[in-house]
Structure 1
Amino acid sequence: MHLGDDMGPNMGTTINKTACVTIGLKLNSASHTLQAYRCYRL
């Protein structure tokens, strides 16, 4: 992944989903479920 290159003006839906998944994986199970649910609803 090259999130660093796309974290600028090229922030798109795909990058947003990837960011949500990455953030979710860093959280625990309960928080991951809530975070993923919120991200994919956007």
Structure 2
Amino acid sequence: VSQSVPAGVTIIPIDNLPISSNADSESSDADSTSSDDEGIQA
């Protein structure tokens, strides 16, 4: 796994995961933050 990961898996996950993860994380955080803020304000 280590050999495969550094070789190509690292490049693919970095391009796929970070973008998707960041997008999901940002969306989740934005939603969570908005929900929390709205919830607190409400």
- Normalised TM-score (structure 2): 0.35
Q: TM-score, normalized by length of structure 1?
A: 0.35
